[in-house]
Amino acid sequence: MKRPEYLKDDYVIFLDELMASGQMTSFKVSQILMHRFPLLSYEEVNNILAYWIYTYNDRHRVEE
């Protein structure tokens, strides 16, 4: 999946930290992201979330 041009590392870090905190639910994550970064459009938020989900395992792979 191609990284959106407008995606900042801050967005990915925020989502990773939210996931690690246990405060995230799949139903509210887009609302939380839009609240934290209010200049993002609904479409941008959805694209950022899709990228974040698609790349999560590769970014958090544990070496055996």
The string of DSSP letters for 3-51 reads: PPTT--HHHHHHHHHHHHHT---TTTHHHHHHHHSTTS-HHHHHHHHHH
User: Residue 7: what pLDDT?
Assistant: 95
Q: Is 62 helix (H, G, I), strand (E, B) or coil?
A: coil
For 15-64, the pLDDT digits (tens) are 999 888 887 777 788 899 999 999 999 999 999 999 999 998 888 886 65
Euclidean distance between CA atoms 2 and 20, whole angstroms: 24
Euclidean distance between CA atoms 20 and 23, whole angstroms: 8
User: Residue 11: what pLDDT?
Assistant: 95
